[in-house]
């Protein structure tokens, strides 16, 4: 494909993806995504899981959000046993650095020395986590270099910490080397996302994947992160389905990841039964999560997700010249010329197909699961950022609630989580939330199985 067709399709070399190879998740994997607020309040892990839910409907994995807002490597290290390993993960993805590289420290006259000290501390506590993981051969670690801090966007005049982006790159380079030394997986989000920011800012200086505060990706940024993770896992090019039919002799020339039967002439066209082995990936058109303004679907303007991960191709050759109406299960999907059908159409771009509507139901249930899981992560924030140092971790008692109420009067983030903790302080409530998620997941893996559809093409003029 020529680069002139769209700059986004020529990102491979500029986004330094060629060295990234991480094994895809396998059936039964329990994947703990460990990190800070970018993980805690973000969607990238949920978007990755949605891909597995739709593309591999017979392969069940479980993903866990194990992020806590504000965490540095030290805080991740101290909660590793009680918050991460208790999930019984088979895969641990580990991301840190945004908070480790400081904020107001960049305004100090000794900023470089201060940040060096912070990074030395960060790396020391990483090595504590590393030592634990090396003793756990049943866990596959993947180090993920954080999404970037964007110093350069004109989207907001605030939070400009000059030098922070370079320090965060230092962390990414450290993580890459650490992964290489241990023969662990490594996925770089920092440099590819920085490249996208720079490319888009040449056209629009206010563009940013982290437009609200230079730190936290919006929904499109999280989808870019999911794209980069799936790309690193070598999953690009796996079609939802790729079907080629010759109308003249009713011959199926190709049926990749699909099964075509009952090909037959009709009065003005052709019909056949179609069973794909995957569902199209549904892209959300709603802006989700507090403070976000962009939508997941906006990411397809930035990375070639549709071309690489969401191709449900239907090609019908040798149709008589004219325009054809395409129906699936007697529902009109659209109309295309014979030449367009001969070149192939991507059904995943048609949101009104039965299979896409089926996928939207899965997305909706997954979003509901994400909302519930966020309550549990809000609870974890209180446990580890308020109660841990006061000897009240998992106390679930009046003393813990009184402590939270007292601290909430002085600290805004504690105040923001107090309402959730009023409920989550009770183990019975947390258990009920977990049961709700279990029910949602059971429903997802019940309804995510592709079914056979009747497709017809009828010449209309």
Closest CA to 375 of 425, 440, 444, 439: 425
pTM above 0.85, yes or no: yes
pLDDT along the chain (461 residues), means of 10: 38 47 95 98 97 98 98 98 98 98 95 96 98 98 98 87 96 98 97 98 96 96 98 97 96 98 94 98 94 95 98 97 97 98 98 98 98 98 97 97 97 96 98 98 98 98 90
Integer Cα distance of 299 and 283 in angstroms: 9
Integer Cα distance of 14 and 192 in angstroms: 7
Neighbours of 137 (CB within 10 A): 7
Angle at 196 between CA 2 and CA 106, to 5 degrees: 160
The strand pairing partners of 270, in sequence order, are 265, 457
Integer Cα distance of 343 and 118 in angstroms: 56
State how beta strands 345-346 and 312-317 pair.
Answer: antiparallel
Q: Are 282 and 54 in contact (CB under 8 A)?
A: yes
24-232 maps to CATH 3.40.50.1110: yes
Identify the pLDDT of residue 155: 85
Cα R_g (the chain), whole angstroms: 24
* Domain-wise residue ranges, the chain: 24-232, 241-281+292-354+449-459, 359-447
Integer Cα distance of 112 and 167 in angstroms: 9
Q: Which single residue is written with the structure tokens 């989700």?
A: 288
Closest CA to 90 of 110, 70, 64: 64
């Amino acid at each position: 494909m020529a680069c002139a067709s769209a700059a986004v399709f020529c990102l491979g070399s500029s986004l330094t993806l060629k060295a990234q190879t991480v094994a895809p998740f396998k059936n039964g994997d329990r994947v703990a995504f460990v990190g800070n607020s970018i993980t805690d309040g973000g969607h990238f892990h949920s978007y990755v899981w949605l891909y597995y839910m739709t593309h591999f409907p017979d392969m069940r994995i479980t993903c866990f959000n194990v992020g806590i807002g504000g965490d540095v490597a030290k805080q991740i290290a101290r909660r590793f046993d009680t918050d991460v390993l208790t999930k019984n993960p088979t895969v641990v993805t580990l991301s840190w650095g945004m908070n480790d590289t400081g904020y107001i420290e960049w305004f100090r006259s000794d900023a470089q020395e201060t940040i060096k000290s912070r990074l030395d501390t960060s790396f020391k506590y990483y090595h504590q986590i590393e030592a634990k993981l090396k003793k756990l051969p049943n866990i596959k670690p993947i180090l993920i270099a954080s999404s970037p801090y964007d110093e350069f966007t004109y989207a907001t005049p605030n939070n400009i910490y000059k030098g922070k982006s370079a320090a965060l790159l230092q962390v990414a380079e450290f993580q890459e080397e650490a992964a290489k030394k241990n023969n662990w997986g490594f996925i770089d989000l920092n440099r590819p996302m920085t490249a996208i920011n720079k490319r888009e800012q040449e056209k629009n200086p206010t563009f940013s994947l982290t437009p609200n505060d230079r730190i936290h990706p919006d929904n499109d940024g999280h989808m870019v992160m999911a794209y980069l993770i799936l790309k690193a896992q070598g999953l690009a090019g796996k079609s939802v389905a790729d079907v080629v039919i010759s109308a003249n002799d009713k011959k199926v020339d190709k049926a990749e990841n699909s099964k075509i039967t009952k090909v037959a002439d009709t009065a003005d066209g052709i019909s056949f039964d179609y069973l794909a082995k995957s569902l199209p990936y549904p892209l959300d058109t709603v802006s989700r999560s507090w403070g976000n303004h962009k939508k997941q679907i906006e990411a397809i303007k930035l990375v070639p997700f549709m071309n690489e991960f969401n191709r449900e191709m239907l090609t019908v050759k040798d149709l008589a010249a004219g325009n054809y109406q395409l129906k699936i299960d007697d529902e009109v999907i659209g109309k295309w010329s014979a030449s367009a059908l001969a070149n192939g159409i991507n059904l995943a771009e048609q949101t009104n197909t039965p299979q896409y509507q089926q996928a939207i139901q899965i997305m909706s249930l997954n979003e509901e699961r994400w909302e519930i899981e966020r309550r549990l992560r809000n609870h974890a924030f209180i446990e580890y950022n308020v109660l841990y140092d006061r000897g009240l971790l998992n106390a679930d008692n009046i003393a813990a609630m009184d402590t939270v109420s007292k601290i909430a009067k002085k600290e805004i983030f504690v105040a923001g989580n107090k309402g959730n903790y009023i409920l989550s302080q009770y183990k019975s409530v947390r258990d009920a939330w977990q049961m709700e998620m279990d029910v949602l997941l059971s429903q997802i893996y019940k309804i995510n199985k592709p079914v056979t559809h009747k497709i017809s093409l009828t010449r209309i003029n």
